[in-house]
Structure 1
Amino acid sequence: MFHRIGHFVVRRAWWVIGAWLIAAVAIISTAPAITAQTDESKFLPKHYESVQASELQAEAFPANFSPGAYAVFERKGGGKLDEADKATAEKVVKGLTDKHIEYVETVLPVGKSYSKDGTFGVSMIAIDKKVLQKPEAADAAKALREAGVELTAGTPVKMLLGGPAASILDQQDSSKLAEALIGVGTFVIILLTLWLIFRSLTVAWLPILSIIIYSMVANGLIGYAGKLFGLKSDNSMSAILIVVLFGVGTDYFLFLMFRYRERLRAGDERKEAVVNAVGRVGEAIASAAGAVVVAFAVLVLSSLGMFTALGPSLAIAVAVTALASITLVPAVLSVVPERVLFRRVVEWLRWAGRHLAWLARGARGPRPAGNFPEHWMRQSKGSRFAALGGGVQRRPAVAALASGLVLVALTVAALGYKGTFDLTSGSMPKTKESMVVQDRMMKAFSAGAADPSHVYLASTNGAKLDAAGLDTYRAALAGTPGVAAVPADRTSLSKDGLTADITVVLKDAPATNKAIDTMGSLRETAHGSAPSGTKVLVGGQTSVLKDINTAMAHDYKLVFPVAALLILLILAFQLRSLVAPWYLMASVGLGFGATLGATSLIFQKIGGEPGLMFMLPIFIYLFVVAIGTDYNILMIARLREEVKEGRTPREAAGEAVKHAGPTVAAAGFILAATFGTMLLAGNSLFSQMGFSIAFGIIVSAFVMAMFFTPAITALLGHVAWWPGHGDSPSQDGPAAVRDAEPEPAGRL
C-alpha cells in the first residue's frame, strides 16, 4: 500500500505540492480563529454543583455586586499611607468613575478597606458579568491600568490592578510571550540539530518549510472543528500546538529522511529511493500517528471542556502531520536533486564563488561544473549504534534488566505526586501585577478574602427565608474547620426573598489544596444544616476546583484505560501479534511512571513546589505513552524487517538498534528539545509540562526503544510474534541495504 502511495506521489510530485499550497491558502483564509476560554467553570458539565450554583446566582442575583477587579493603592517608596495619600486614592477612584471606561460598571471608594498595617488600600471594581471571562474584560483591565498611571502621575501613590479581569490580561500577555519564546526556540533547535546531523542547510530548512505549509491546514481545520462542535480551549493550547506540529513533524521527517539516505547509499536512483523510503517507513509513520491520534482523540471522553477541546485539536494536528509526511515531504524530496539536498554550506559557497568568477569574466568559457564530493555516500566507521546494537545482541537480559530497573526506580518516586489547582498563578510569572496584588491581599487579609466562596440557600416550598434561620445557618457554616468568617453584612437576599447569597471566607487561598479540602467539609455542613424546605448550592472558585478535582478522578479511570486499549489494538494490527503489544504497552506504562516520578522529585522535593499542576498526569500519559509508542513502533518494525530477512531474533535486535537507533536518537532529541523550550515561558505550568514531557521522550527514545524493547523482543524470540507470522523469513535474504550502514546521529 505505502509503496503505491510512494509511486503516486513521485509521479505527480508537483501536483501534490500544489494541492497542499492551495489547501493551505484556502483553509487558513476562511477558517475561524481559535479562541481561548479562561473561566474554569465553563470547562465543567452542568451537573456539577459549582456550575449549578453559578446559574442560580445569575438568576437570583443578576444585579449583585461582584468584583471583577481590585485597585490597590500604596506609596511608591513603601511605608504607611498618610491622610494625603488616602485622599489621593479617593480622587483616583473618582477619576476612574468619571472616565466611563467600557464594561466598567462601578468603582467603589476605598473607604475603610485598608490593610491592618496601613500600607495599602483596596477599591473593588465591578465589570460587566457578560464579558468577565472574555477578551473584553482584559481590554477593560488594560484601560483601568492606563488610567491609574495617568491619575497617580506626580503623586507619591501608585495603583496596582488585580482580580479576575487583570489576571486575564496578564495571562494573555504571558501566553503571547510564551508562544514567541517557544516558537523561536523550537525553530532554532530544529534548524541547528538537523544541520548538525546532515551537515546540510537544505535538509535543515526542508521540514520547517513543509511544517509551515501544513500547519496552516491543521490550524484552519482546528478552527472549523472548534466552531462546529463548540470546543472551548484554554490559553495553553496555541503553545502546545506549536510544539506538537514542529516536534512530531520533524520526527516523521527524520523517519523518512534516514531511510531515504539509506536507500541512496544502497544505490537507488533518487525517485526510486523516495518510493522505497515511503514503502518501508510509511506503515511505521501511519501506525505511530494512529497511536497518537487515538490517544488524543480519547480526550473527548473527558469531563473537562479544556481536554475535550485540546484532544481533538491535537489529534487533527497529528493526523495532518502524518498525511503530509507521506505525501508532501516525499513529493518535495523527489523534486530536489540529492546533490542540492545534501550540499554543505562550504560547497554552496565554493559553487557561488566559481559562478561569480565566471560571471565576472563576462560568462566566457564553460559554466562551472556542479560536481561535489559525495559525502552523504561515505559510511561511518565504528558506529556507536552498531556497538550498542552489538551489546543488546550479546546480552539482551542485561540490557532488559538494567533499563527496566531505571524505569521501576523512577516509577516508585511517582508515589510522592501531589496535584495543585492554582491555574492562575501557574500560568504566569509571580512578578505579574495581578499576582502581586493577590499576594498583597493574602498577606493583609484572610488568604481567602480575595475570592470568597458563596453558599446559596433557596426556598423550595415558596416560603420566604427568615432572618433568625439565616443567623443559625451562618453560625453552622462558621463552625466548619477551615472557614475564617461568615460575615452577616455580606449576606444578601433576592428581591423575592426566596434565595440567600451567604459569603463564606476561607482561611486558605481559594486555589490551594487545603481550601479544596475545606470545600468538601463546607458542602457537607451546608447541605446537612440547611433548614427544611430549602436547597443548597455552594459556588465560587474553590467550589469549581473541587468539582474539577472530582472530574479528574473520573477521567483517570476512563481516559487512561480506553486510550491504552485502543493503542494496544493499533499495535496488534500493525505487528500482527498478540504478544508484542503487551510488553510494548508495559514499557510505555513504566515510562509514564518514571516521568511522573522524576517530575515529582525535581519540582516537589528539590524545587519546593506544593504540587504539580493537576492536568500534568494526563499530558504525561498522552504524550509519553503515545509518542513513546512511536519510537517503539519504529524500532520493532525495523526489528521485524531484519527477522524477515532471515536473521535470528538476537541478530535482528542488534541490527535494529544499529540501523534504527540513529533515527530514534535524533527524533527523540529534537522532540525532547522542542518540548523543553516550554521552560523558557517562565511559569509553573509550562515549566512542569516542558520538563516532564521532554524527560519522558528521552526515556522513551534512549531507554525504552533503544534497549528495553529490542532486548525483550530478543529474549522472547519467535514467541514475540505469536500467533501471526510476522517473523517469517523472506526468500530474498538480507537486502543489500544492510551493507550500507547509515551515518549515526552521534554528531549531536
Structure 2
Amino acid sequence: MFERWGSAVVRHPVRVIVTWLVVVMGLGGLGYLVLGPEGPAAVSGQNETDFLPESYESVRAARFAEQAFPSDAEDGATAVLVLSRVDGAALGPADQAEGREAVAGLGGAGVRGVGAPSLSPNGKVMLAQVTFTAKLGHPEVSSAVSRLRDDTAERLSGTPLRSGYTGAAAVAKDTERLDLLVSVGMIVMILILLVVIFRSPWVALLNLLIIALVGQGAVAVIAIAAKLAGTTLDGSVTGLLPVVLFGVGTDYVVFLLYRYRERLRLGEDRRTAMVAALGRVGSAIGVSALAVAVSFGALLLSGFGSFQILGPALAFAVLVMVLAGLTLIPAVFSLLGHRAFWPSKAWRNAPRAGLAARTGLLVARRPAAVALAAVAILAALGSAALAHRPSYDIETMPAGTESARVMRWLESGFPAGTLSPTSVYLSGPGLTEQTVAAYAERLSALPIVGEVGAVRATGQTAQVELLLAADPFSARALDAMEQELRPAAHAAAPPGSIVYVGGETSIFADIRAVVEVDLRVILPAAGLLIGLVLLLMLRGVLAPAYLLGAVVGGFVATLGAAVLVFQGAVGRPGLTFTLPLIVYMFVASIGTDYNILIIARIREELRGGASRREAVRVALREAGPPVAAAGVILAASFGALTISATLAEVGFAVAVGVLLSTFVLSWLLVPALTALLGRAAFWPARVGRTLATPETAAETAPASARETEPAGGPVSATMVQ
C-alpha cells in the first residue's frame, strides 16, 4: 500500500508541494478572519476554572462572583507593585507619603487602574494592584509593564525607597526572554544534530522549513477549532505544541531519509529510491503515529478540561506531521535526489560497523543478560518514583528576575497567600456588614487563615477575603481547604445563606481531586489503546504484551529520575501535578514508536529467513541508528524546555524518558526479549520466510545475506559510533 502511495507522490511532487502551500496559506487567512490579529492568543485560557466541570465548588464560586460582583470579573491582566526601603527598615510616615504620591501618578496606555497602596502589618512593605486593559499575553500588557517599571523607578529616584513589580503580568514579562530562548534553542539544537547526522545543511534547513510550514497550519486549525467550540487553550497546549511539531516531525523525516539514502546508495534513481523507502518504513511510521495519537487521545477521558483539549490537540499535531512525512517530505526529497545531501559524499560509501552494530552483536549473543541489565536499570530509577509528590504551584518564577526578587520583598511583610486570596461568597437574606464581619471573625480563628482582608456586604450577597497563612498552592493549604476551611465556612454561615469558597487554593483543591481520578482512569486506558494498536500491527500476543510492559517500566523509571533531580537534588517540595500524565503520554507513545520500528525490522528479517538472533543483530545494525538519531533529536527538543520557568520539569522528564525509550528499551530490552522468544513472540501469527519470485528475491532476503546492503546504519559514521 505504501509503495503505491509513494508512487503517486513521486509522480506528481510539484502538485503535492503546491497543495500543501495553498492549504497552509488558506488556513492562515482563515485564522486571521476568525481569531483576529491576536491569533492563537485570542483563545488562551486565563483561569483554571475554565477547565473544571461546573459541579465543583470553586467553579460555582467563580460563576457567582461574575454575577454578584461583576467589576471583579474583568478579564484584564494584573500585576502587583511592591515598595520597601532600600535598607529593609520599617516605612516611616515620610516614606509612606512618598510611596502614595508615586503610586498616585501611575497610569498611561494599557493600564486600567492602580489601586491605593496598603501597608503590611509589620510596616516594612507597601503594595498596590495594577490592572491592565488587555488580557495576559497581549503585547500591550508587556509594553505597559516595562513602562511602569521605568516610570516608578524614576519617580522614586533620590528617595530611600525601592520599587518592583511581581504578579502574573510581571512574571509573563520576565519569562518572555526565556520563552524566546526555548524556541531558538530547540531549533538550533535540531539544526545542529541534523547537520551532524546527515552532514548536509540542506537536509537540516529543509526539515525545519517544512515543519514550520506544516506546524503553522496545524496550530491555525487547533486555534480555529477552539474558537468555534467556545473553549480556550491553556499554557500546556501552547507550550508543548511547538516541541511536538518539531520533535516528532523531525523523527519521521529521519526515519524516511535513512531508508531513502540507503536505497540511493544501492544505485536506485531518486524516484525509485523514495518509493522503496516508503514501502519499507511507511507502515511502521504510520502505525507509530497512530499509537502516539491514540495515546494522547486517551486524555479525552480526563475530567480536567485542560487535558481534554491538550490530548486531541497533540494527537492532531502528530497526525498532521505524519501526513506531511508521507507526502510533502517525499515530494520535496524525491525532486532533489542526491543534491539534498550536498556537499557530503561520504554517505555514498557503506559506513563501518558502529555502536549499533556492536550492540546488536551483544544482544544477539547474550539476550538474557542484556534483558536483566535493562530491567535492573529501569528498576533502580523506578524505585525513586515511590517518593513522588505532586505540586500545584504553577506560578513558578524564573530565578534572578525582578518578579522573583520582588516576591521575596512582599513575603517579608505580608502573609504567604497575599497574591492568591481565598474569597468566601455568601448569598441569602439579611447579610449586613455586622453579620458578615462576625462571620469573618469566626473564620479568622482557623489555623490556616493568616489574615482577613476585604469584607463586603450588600444585603443579599457578601464577600469575605481571606489571606492564608500557608503557601496557597502547598499541600498544607490544599488539605486545609478540603478538610478545614470549606467545612468551617459552610458550618459557620448565617442562617439561610448559601456559601461558595473560591480563589486559587479552592480551584487547585478541586483540580487535585480531578487529577487523582484521571490517573486511575487515563493511564490504563492509554495502555489499552496502545496495546490494541500493537495487536493490530503485529497480530500476535506476546510481543505486544512485553512491548507494553517495557513502556510502562520506562514511564516509572522516568518519573523516578525526575523525583531524584527535582525533589532530591533541586529540593522542590513536589513535581508539577500534570507531570505524570504528560510524561506517561509521551514516554508510552514515543517508547512504542521506537519499539515498533525495531520490532518491525526484526520481523522483516525473520520473514527473510534469518534466525532469531541473526534477525535481532541485523535489525539493530540497520534500524538502531535511525532510532538513536530520532531519539537524540527528540530528547534535545524537549531538553530545551529545561530553561523554561513553567515547563522545566516536563522538558527534563520527557527528554530522559525518550533517551530511556531509545537506548534501554528499543536497543536493549525489546530486542533481547525478542531474541529469546524468536518467532513465538508473534504467535499466533506465523512469521515464516516470505515466498519470493526471482525478481523480488533480493528484496525479501535478510539484510545479512545481501552483499550490496551497507554493513552498518547510516548514522554509524557519525554520532552513534
TM-score, length-scaled by structure 2: 0.91
Distance 1:59 1:38, change over 3 A: closer
Q: What's the CA shift string for 1:276-295, capped at 9, x where partnerless? A: 10011001111111111122
Give the match for residue 625 of structure 1: 588
The equivalences for 1:1-80 within 5 A come to 1-31=1-31, 32=35, 33-35=39-41, 36-63=44-71, 68-76=78-86, 79-80=89-90
Give the match for residue 355 of structure 1: none
C-alpha contact (below 8 Å) 1:721/1:727 kept by paired residues = no
SS of residue in 2 equivalent to 1:499: strand
Distance 1:446 1:621, change over 3 A: same
Distance 1:29 1:706, change over 3 A: same
C-alpha contact (below 8 Å) 1:243/1:674 kept by paired residues = yes
Task: Tell me which of 462, 471, 481 is aligned to 1:509.
Answer: 471
Structure 2 residue 333 is matched with structure 1 residue 375: no
Structure 2 residue 356 is matched with structure 1 residue 385: yes
Give the match for residue 500 of structure 2: 537
AA partner of residue 690 (structure 1): G
C-alpha contact (below 8 Å) 1:74/1:121 kept by paired residues = yes
Structure 2 residue 126 is matched with structure 1 residue 121: yes
SS of residue in 2 equivalent to 1:505: strand
Give 1:582 deviation, angstroms. 1.6
Larger deviation, residues 77-86 vs 551-560:
77-86
Measured in 2, the distance between the counterparts of 1:395 and 1:579 equals 20
Measured in 2, the distance between the counterparts of 1:44 and 1:442 equals 30
Give the match for residue 449 of structure 1: 418
AA partner of residue 448 (structure 1): G
Give the match for residue 242 of structure 1: 242
Measured in 2, the distance between the counterparts of 1:212 and 1:125 equals 37
Distance 1:152 1:659, change over 3 A: same
Give 1:606 deviation, angstroms. 1.1
Give the match for residue 554 of structure 1: 517
Give 1:138 deviation, angstroms. 5.6
AA partner of residue 705 (structure 1): S
C-alpha contact (below 8 Å) 1:38/1:133 kept by paired residues = no
Give 1:672 deviation, angstroms. 0.6
C-alpha contact (below 8 Å) 1:115/1:121 kept by paired residues = no
C-alpha contact (below 8 Å) 2:10/2:271 kept by paired residues = yes
The equivalences for 1:201-600 within 5 A come to 201-338=201-338, 340-344=339-343, 375-425=346-396, 428-459=397-428, 463-465=429-431, 470=436, 473-486=439-452, 490-494=454-458, 497-520=459-482, 521-600=484-563
Distance 1:239 1:613, change over 3 A: same
Measured in 2, the distance between the counterparts of 1:524 and 1:662 equals 59
Q: What's the CA shift string for 1:198-234, capped at 9, x where partnerless? A: 2222333331222122222222222222222234222
Measured in 2, the distance between the counterparts of 1:418 and 1:719 equals 41
C-alpha contact (below 8 Å) 1:662/1:744 kept by paired residues = yes
C-alpha contact (below 8 Å) 2:595/2:670 kept by paired residues = yes
SS of residue in 2 equivalent to 1:423: coil
Larger deviation, residues 303-312 vs 276-285:
303-312
Q: What's the CA shift string for 1:532-587, capped at 9, x where partnerless? A: 42322111111111111112112212222222221111111111223321211111
AA partner of residue 491 (structure 1): V
C-alpha contact (below 8 Å) 2:621/2:713 kept by paired residues = no
Give 1:481 deviation, angstroms. 3.5
C-alpha contact (below 8 Å) 2:263/2:276 kept by paired residues = yes
Give the match for residue 694 of structure 1: 655
Task: Tell me which of 618, 629, 644 is aligned to 1:666.
Answer: 629
Larger deviation, residues 254-263 vs 207-216:
207-216
Distance 1:61 1:216, change over 3 A: closer
Measured in 2, the distance between the counterparts of 1:140 and 1:239 equals 24
- Tell me the C-alpha RMSD between the 2 structures: 2.6
Task: Tell me which of 629, 639, 642 is aligned to 2:602.
Answer: 639
AA partner of residue 53 (structure 1): A
Distance 1:138 1:535, change over 3 A: farther
Distance 1:172 1:89, change over 3 A: closer
Distance 1:727 1:516, change over 3 A: farther
SS of residue in 1 equivalent to 2:82: strand
Q: What's the CA shift string for 1:170-207, capped at 9, x where partnerless? A: 32551x42342222222222222222222222333331
Distance 1:125 1:247, change over 3 A: closer
SS of residue in 2 equivalent to 1:158: strand
Give the match for residue 678 of structure 2: 717
SS of residue in 2 equivalent to 1:336: helix
C-alpha contact (below 8 Å) 1:162/1:433 kept by paired residues = yes
Give 1:453 deviation, angstroms. 1.1
Larger deviation, residues 70-79 vs 551-560:
70-79
TM-score, length-scaled by structure 1: 0.87
Measured in 2, the distance between the counterparts of 1:169 and 1:738 equals 63
AA partner of residue 508 (structure 1): A
Percent of paired sites with the same residue: 40
Q: What's the CA shift string for 1:613-640, capped at 9, x where partnerless? A: 1111111011111111110110011111
AA partner of residue 504 (structure 2): Q
Q: What's the CA shift string for 1:92-148, capped at 9, x where partnerless? A: 12212xx566553452144xx1452x44322345667x9589777666655543442
Give 1:479 deviation, angstroms. 3.9
C-alpha contact (below 8 Å) 2:264/2:273 kept by paired residues = yes
Measured in 2, the distance between the counterparts of 1:75 and 1:526 equals 38
Give 1:5 deviation, angstroms. 0.5
SS of residue in 1 equivalent to 2:476: helix
Distance 1:341 1:95, change over 3 A: closer
Measured in 1, the distance between the counterparts of 2:577 and 2:662 equals 26
Larger deviation, residues 401-410 vs 737-746:
737-746
Measured in 2, the distance between the counterparts of 1:325 and 1:527 equals 57
SS of residue in 1 equivalent to 2:70: coil
C-alpha contact (below 8 Å) 2:626/2:713 kept by paired residues = no
Measured in 1, the distance between the counterparts of 2:208 and 2:132 equals 44
Give 1:705 deviation, angstroms. 0.5
Give 1:240 deviation, angstroms. 2.0
Distance 1:343 1:575, change over 3 A: same
Larger deviation, residues 214-223 vs 296-305:
296-305
Larger deviation, residues 149-158 vs 11-20:
149-158
Distance 1:402 1:247, change over 3 A: same
C-alpha contact (below 8 Å) 2:17/2:328 kept by paired residues = yes
Measured in 1, the distance between the counterparts of 2:549 and 2:562 equals 20
SS of residue in 2 equivalent to 1:34: helix
Give 1:63 deviation, angstroms. 4.9
Distance 1:465 1:80, change over 3 A: closer
C-alpha contact (below 8 Å) 2:84/2:162 kept by paired residues = yes
Larger deviation, residues 412-421 vs 445-454:
445-454
Distance 1:122 1:549, change over 3 A: same
Distance 1:198 1:144, change over 3 A: closer
SS of residue in 1 equivalent to 2:647: helix
Instruction: Compare CA radii of gyration and give the structure with the larger one.
Output: 1
Measured in 2, the distance between the counterparts of 1:608 and 1:230 equals 40
C-alpha contact (below 8 Å) 1:453/1:542 kept by paired residues = yes
Where does the alignment leave 5 or more consecutive residues of structure 1 unmatched? 346-373
